[in-house]
Chain A
Amino acid sequence: MTIRLAAETPWYDLFSRGARDWLRHNEKVRDAVKETLPELLAGSDLMTRPGNRTVAVPVKFLEHSRLRLADANVQQGAGQGRGEPGDVLQPGREEGGEQGQAGGTGEGEIRFVVELKVDEIVDWLWEELKLPELKPKRTATMDQAEYIREGWDKRGARSRLDRRRTMKEAVKRHAIQSNIAAGNGTDTLEAEPISLVNDDLRFRQLVKRPSPATSAAVIFALDVSGSMDEAQRRLAKQFFFFALQGIRRQYAKVETVFLAHAAQAWEFDESQFFQASSSGGTVTSSVARLALEVMTTRYEPSRYNVYFFYASDGENAAEDRDEARGTLAEIARQVNYTGYCETGGVATFRPRDTQLAEIFTELKGSGLAVGTSHLASQDDVWNAIRAFFTEQAASGD
């Protein structure tokens, strides 16, 4: 009899089959997570969270199912040890109490967390939805100037001295001069070190050049009046989230503004934005005016690519109609794109367009970059995103 040592049969040290199948399992988990992505993302305040933009998704192991019997009401098994019929081996758990005790399933459930990068998720979505990339506004490209290096000059600040160039010039000059000297029949000292004269100095030059604006500002406006319920706001939030992600893909720097309004408008930070609610009436012009103010003071549309998104159930105070039309038109003229989403169940019988829908349709008709969409269900969010990015890409041409 011989006992072999592992070293003689090293094949199983090469790779771990268990780890390979585990990785494959994780791949499948990620695919499964991908499918439920929209709901996952709507849950947390991901929009402005800085730093590591990841979502941690707690998941269970996938189960490879087999046929098995339904659980019996009373489960039986064979055991061993001290005990007479009737003896209690393990007391029942009180309802609600003592949840901390390890479950009776023996193995215990192991949960793990899949960490997904938000950018990765958005990339998936963009592939999935086949969305085009956004284009920066043309007018915005002309204004923002930047210094770039271009050419050399004999004069300049010491800090811009290009030593390599300077030495090259010196060598060239030296070669010419020694050639002339040789032509004259004069002896030259080959080993003579190359000396620099002022004429050899070369300085790098900077030129002012316009460069495309790479920063964008996104203004989200939300109607928080009493008629907007929780479900409608969630849809709006999802739309806002994905619109923002799409814009983030394109611009190096994206700033966000959150405005909520009922009869009056306020600016919020993101965490409070979706909690805000008011029982007042709806005056759209209030938020439009606030948006204009934000634009003039902080995000000059000639320097920023500004996007304006507005979500509302479409109802606006009748006396505000003209005012709203005027201010919204003013916004639409200045920004790259205006997106309007109207929320509300499809069940609602709509004999005609709402006041706001009419206004936006009119603005769109007059050739401004305006998009409208209706959000009644999860799927509409995708349609709205698709419509927005396709239109925006087309209007950018």
Chain B
Amino acid sequence: MTELQDYAERIESLARRLGLDYYNVDFELAPASLMTEIAVYGLPVRMPHWSFGVRYIHQLVRQSMGHSKIFEVMFPGDPCRAFLMDGNSTAENALVTAHVLGHADFAKNNQLFARFHAMAGANIVETAAAHAHRIQLSIEAHGVERVEGVLDAALALESHIDVAGELHRARYSEFVQEKRPPTETGFQARFRQLPGAEEQAAPKSGQVRAPVPPHSEYDLLWFIANYAPELEQWERDIFLMVRSESFYFYPVFACQIMNEGWASYWHARLLREADFLPQPLYLSAIKAHSDVVRPFASGQETALAINPYHLGFTMWERIVEKHGIERAREVRRDEDDFGFIRNWLDEDLAREAGLFVYEARPGDEIRVATKDISAIREAILAPKFNFGAPRVAAVELKHDGSLTLAHDHASDGRGLDVTRAKRVLDYVHRVWRRPVRLTTVNEKNEAVELAA
């Protein structure tokens, strides 16, 4: 402990010397049980919901089979909160300390993180714990079944926020300016001057009631919280709490490759330059580094997934090597994974890393499909579009309070999984309390409408 404390302090001053710029980091050594829960919930204390219980069991199974080892978790903020696993060796935790400082630098400087930070304040850990507490109060007041019903709907739509929009958003304005009459043509001007034409008063240009929503609304959590006809205040609160946590999760999700790569670049560099570390400790730390930053499991030659640590690390090394650390800092500030992969993953790098696109056909045969660079980029990014969710928007709120949702199947390329969509619609219906419809297409590309 004191040994780690000592190393940690020296690593930190080295980091400052090397120009890492971050808010203070509160480190905490936590037991494995808490680390497991953070991996499941995404946050140390988060609202209760039975679906987390299922993930928890999956996580326990994975850990017991050795598929998943947790090193650290860091929550950006001011100060940042980092949790280290108390069962890990000093070498591992020294590595992790350096890694966390890389994350902290990323979180303070990347524009997506900074934007969230500005919108939502600097302490997500406490905010989420407060949410959990409020939901607990709701459970006491309204019973677990009702609260669960609301959470079923809100968490099912967790990713359906407008990531480019604001966290705090006003309702639509109720009226819009009526469209101006078209500009007069010469003929109309002359026609108006004819005797008897004056009685036809020009149509008044004034305000008319705006339709709701005035445009396709992709921020479904916000829309339901604000426009559900019979939502009670506490139910609305739950929707808004889930939504604000989603805003927190989005930068983490959208910058995963960059962020993990950046932290890996820095832990490698900090350890390399930390001459105060004893040789054996340095060696075991570097061993831990190469276990994390490797493309596939030991003894295998291919992986049907990209390890973000490895890909990000390789890319940052290349960027620093070719363009210098200052340019790398700009990239770290400006991009998210979309820009990072599209702008900085070039053909040479892809070839060296052995990246490819594979295709799995019915019957489970899996083949390498192509090594074309743009195909590779899109295959890496495909699961990240739109926060990983299909594009579904609220398009119409009728006078009877019924809601129509539309799936933008053209941009997603195919329709929704109908069974699941129906279930989600059932969840939504329970809070919307009026008919809810959802349009999408089936496997034959024919329009279908689901209703609940």
Contacts and interface: CB of A to CB of B under 8 A. Distances in A.
A87 B370 CA distance: 10
Interface string B41-66: 10011101111111011111100000
B31 A68 contact: no
Contact of B420 (A68, A75, A86, A93): A68
B424 interface: yes
Q: Which of B29, B54, B358, B412 has the most CB of A within 10 A?
A: B358
B369 interface: yes
B359 interface: yes
B58 A79 contact: no
A107 interface: yes
Interface in A80-112: 80-93, 104, 107, 110
B19 interface: no
Given A6-B86, A18-B53, A66-B389, A75 B359 contact: yes
A86 B357 CA distance: 11
B357 to A, nearest CB: 6
Interface in B330-386: 353-371, 376, 379-380, 382
B61 A3 contact: no
A28 B59 CA distance: 20
B445 to A, nearest CB: 11
A102 to B, nearest CB: 11
B306 interface: yes
Interface stretch (A57-65, A130-138, A165-173, A263-271): A57-65
Interface in B394-439: 407, 412-421, 423-424, 427
Nearest to B155: A64
B369 A85 contact: yes
A189 to B, nearest CB: 73
B368 A89 contact: yes
A61 to B, nearest CB: 5
A18 B52 contact: yes
Nearest to A88: B367
B304 interface: yes
Contact of B156 (A1, A3, A64): A64
Nearest to A13: B31
Contacts of A65: 156, 419-421, 423-424, 427
A63 B442 CA distance: 22
Contacts of B213: none
Contacts of A68: 389-390, 416-417, 420
B37 interface: yes
Given A79-B357, A90-B366, A64 B54 contact: yes
A1 B27 contact: yes
B380 A78 contact: yes
Interface bin, chain B: 35 or more
A349 B426 CA distance: 40
B379 A77 contact: yes
Interface string B131-168: 00000000000001000000010011111100000000
B422 to A, nearest CB: 8
B325 interface: no
B12 A77 contact: no
Contacts of A86: 367-368
Nearest to A93: B364
A372 to B, nearest CB: 40
Interface in B174-229: none
B358 A3 contact: no
A25 interface: yes
B432 to A, nearest CB: 15
Contact of A89 (B307, B366, B382): B366
Contacts of B354: 80-83
B18 interface: no
Nearest to A29: B50
B379 to A, nearest CB: 4
B300 interface: yes
A76 interface: yes
Interface in B267-324: 295-296, 300-307, 310-311
B263 interface: no
Contacts of B27: 1-4
A69 B152 CA distance: 19
Interface string A207-248: 000000000000000000000000000000000000000000
A325 B130 CA distance: 75
Contact of A67 (B41, B367, B392, B413): B392
A21 B418 contact: no
Nearest to B36: A18
A9 B44 CA distance: 12
A20 interface: yes
B365 A91 contact: yes
Interface string A9-41: 100110011111111111010000000000000
Given A25-B54, A80-B295, A6 B420 contact: no
A234 to B, nearest CB: 29
A85 B4 CA distance: 48
B443 A78 contact: no
B414 A72 contact: yes
A91 B365 CA distance: 5
A23 to B, nearest CB: 7
A22 B56 contact: yes
Contacts of B442: 70
A23 B354 CA distance: 44
B173 interface: no
B5 interface: yes
Interface string B1-30: 100110011001000000000001111111
A318 interface: no
A157 interface: no
A107 B305 CA distance: 14
A71 interface: yes
Given A13-B33, A62-B54, 10 more contacts: A6-B34, A22-B54, A61-B54, A66-B156, A67-B420, A69-B390, A69-B416, A79-B306, A84-B368, A88-B367
A-B interface, 7 closest residue pairs, ranked by CB to CB distance from nearest: A81-B302, A92-B365, A21-B53, A18-B56, A22-B53, A64-B51, A92-B363
6 contacts: A4-B29, A17-B46, A66-B424, A83-B358, A86-B367, A93-B363
